[in-house]
Amino acid sequence: MLNGANNGLKEEMIINTLTELSSDHSGVMLNLKPSNNEKEFKEKLEKIINTYEKWKENPENKKAISQELKKELENLDIWCKETAKKDNSHVFKNIG
């Protein structure tokens, strides 16, 4: 995710999408409320967004922070897949 010359634009698009997904009025959040996964999902998104902001603000630590960001995105993917299996929810299948 964070390797290459056009990283800034790609990462910004990913973060914008995650920010939109974390909105209380997004279709994703509305579908999560009945399954009680809303809070955990939103916390994971906020952690990723905060890490990205840290990445933008600390150019001297970009490599370490970008590795942290990549790991958080991978963890979100794993969480979505595991939750989709447990809840049989199409929402997580589409996100992960």
Q: Is residue 84 part of a domain?
A: yes
Q: Is residue 81 part of a domain?
A: yes
3-state SS class at 40: helix
Q: Is residue 2 part of a domain?
A: no
Instruction: Report in angstroms the alpha-carbon separations of 81 from 8, 12, 56, 63, 93.
Output: 27, 24, 29, 27, 6
Q: Is residue 67 part of a domain?
A: yes
Q: Is residue 91 part of a domain?
A: yes
Q: Is residue 82 part of a domain?
A: yes
Domain count, the chain: 1
pLDDT digits (tens, 9 = 90+) for 44-90: 889 998 888 888 888 788 788 888 888 998 998 898 888 878 776 66
Residues 6+ apart with CB under 8 A from 55: 11, 61, 62, 65, 66, 69
Write out the residue range of the structural domain in which residue 69 sits.
7-95
Q: Is residue 32 part of a domain?
A: yes
pLDDT digits (tens, 9 = 90+) for 3-57: 444 556 777 888 888 888 777 666 777 766 666 777 888 888 899 988 888 888 8
pTM for the model stands at 0.70
Q: What is the pLDDT of residue 24?
A: 67
Instruction: Report in angstroms the alpha-carbon separations of 47 from 26, 39, 58, 71.
Output: 18, 12, 16, 11
